[in-house]
Every structure is written in C-alpha cells, then in structure tokens.
Amino acid sequence: MSKPLLSVSNLSVSYGKVEAVRGVSLEVFAGEIVTVIGANGAGKSTLLNAAMGILPAVGEQAFDGAPIGRLEVEDRVAAGLSLVSERRELFSSMNVEDNLRLGAVRFSEREAQSRMAGVFDRFPRLKERRRQEAGTMSGGERQMLAMGRALMAGPKVLMLDEPSLGLAPRIVADIFTIIEDLRKDGVAILLVEQNARAALNAADRAYVMELGEITMNGRAADLANNPQIEQSYLGLH
Ligand code: ATP
C-alpha cells in the first residue's frame, strides 16, 4: 500500500490526570472508509479532537507525509483534514448559506460560491433551504449542513464524529449513502460511531477502542463476523 494520508502513532491525550487516549496508532489511506467503534467514553471523540488539533496530544501525527502535531486547527484544515464534531456546531441564527460560507473563509467569495454549488449538488435539500436558519432545521438537515460546511474546505480526509446520533433510521441510511458517495469522489473518511453495525457495513477497515486503547483492528468485514465484536458491539442494533 502507498503512504497513509492521516497517521497518528502512539498518541495519548489527557484531561488533567485522566488519560482518555493511551498510545493509539491509526492510519487512514486515500480511498478508504475507516471506522473506530467502541462504547461510550472509550475515547473516540477525544481521539478525533486531538487529530484535528483541538486537544493537545503527545505522540506523532502526520498528514500526507508531513508532521502536523504542532499545527493549529486552521492549518490542519488547510492541509486537507476536516472534522464534523458530534455537536455539529452550527450557528443556529445564521442561515444555511452563511453557515456554509464559514467553511471556506480562507477562499475568495467567488471560490466559496463555486464550492457552495458543489455542496448543493451533493445536498439538494440544503439548496432548497439555503435561506433557512440552521436552528430551525431538522436533525438530519443539520447533520447535512455540518458535513457540507466541512466539505467547503475541500478535505482529503473527513472525520465524522457520530453522524447518525439522534437521527431516524431512514435519515441514518441517507447519511451512510452520502459517506459512500464521498469516498467514491476521493474523500477518505474516518468515522466514529456507536452504531457499530452500520459503521462496519460501510467501512473497509475498523479499529476497536476500549478504555482509551485500540484493542483490535482489521478488515471491517472480518470484525463484523468476529463473535467477540458481535457480542460486545453488535447485539443492540
Ligand atoms: P462518547 O461516544 O460517549 O462521546 P467517546 O468514546 O467519544 O464516547 P470521549 O468523549 O472521548 O469518549 O471520552 C473519553 C473519556 O474522557 C471519558 O472518560 C470522558 O468522561 C472523558 N472526558 C471527555 N471529555 C472530557 C473533558 N472535557 N474533561 C474531562 N474528561 C473528559
């Protein structure tokens, strides 16, 4: 295989004295959907936030062959890494277009317009609602808007933290279709999910995280058929 786009190795993240992520190594290659599954509190969000530069971390982090461990969030975005956080973090009193524009602040208005047209092609629903305030949109629409805003920056790797959280099953299916379309269009995906079954179905490779550590990794299809994984993570869905 070629070199990974995103790689973290021996990454640790602490909140005060509590080490929430311990010695984690993970890679995402171009063209891949990679998922991290694990129980509540396993450290999945902490891992993504550290890779994005939102939380300080110890260990090595590289993107596209260059070290990024010392880079601020906006420089990681410029390098091609974006995160849609669990909280989605939209500006609820701003409309769809203005929220999207915030994803492309480092580009000219003309460039932002052309990127927005691309986002509207992918999410026709957002185009219909371009003047609607984000705070009045449904959960699924807000998730699409948060993904659209991240895509405005033109990421090579898009990290998604619990994109299906709180959404009705039909909308969850739409979100997973979008994730697969993104991969086809050349955006590699790092997906954190509690909906382990859906995540393993969509992913090429998977990591299992328990109490801050990666305890298993491999082909998603193999993990989906692993009795231990089935018992721990697939029973409820
Ligand atoms: P969830 O799916 O519930 O978000 P997770 O796997 O994403 O779980 P994290 O949110 O990364 O897990 O949390 C990992 C651990 O770090 C947990 O024990 C959590 O309580 C702790 N933690 C998370 N955020 C903070 C914080 N801001 N301050 C202190 N501890 C935190």
Residue 2 above 90 pLDDT?
Answer: no
Cα-based distances in Å from 198 to 12, 118, 176, 184, 226: 28, 26, 8, 18, 15
pLDDT in tens, 87-130: 778 888 999 999 999 988 888 999 999 999 999 999 999 999 99
User: What does the pLDDT look like over 34-45, one tens digit per residue?
Assistant: 999 998 899 999
Token pair 């090429």 in the structure block, residue = 204
Measured from CB, residues less than 6 Å from any atom of ligand 1 are 15, 18, 20, 38, 40-46, 194
What is the residue whose two structure tokens read 């949109």?
Answer: 137
List, for residues 77-93, the tens digit of each pLDDT value: 999 999 998 877 888 89
Closest C-alpha residue for ligand 1 atom 30? 15
Contacts of 114 (CB under 8 A, 6+ apart): none
Q: Mean pLDDT, to the nearest integer, of 159-166?
A: 94
In this prediction the pTM is 0.94
Dihedral pair phi/psi, residue 51, rounded to 5°: -65, -30
> CA-CA distance, 125 to 141, in Å (whole number)?
8
| CB-CB contact of 161 with 86 (8 Å) | yes
* Cα separation values, 98 from 25, 146, 148, Å: 37, 12, 12
The answer to ipTM > 0.90 is: yes
Ligand 1 atom at minimal distance to the Cα of residue 212: 14
The predicted structure's pLDDT at residue 232: 87
**Atom from ligand 1 closest to the CA of residue 21:** 14
Nearest-atom index, ligand 1, CA of 49: 11
Largest Cα–Cα separation, the chain: 53
Question: Per-residue confidence at 237, pLDDT binned at 50, 70, 90?
Answer: very low
Separation of alpha carbons 28 and 107, rounded Å? 26
**pLDDT at residue 1, rounded to an integer:** 56
Q: What is the mean pLDDT of residues 151-161?
A: 97
The arithmetic mean of pLDDT across residues 125-139, rounded, is 93
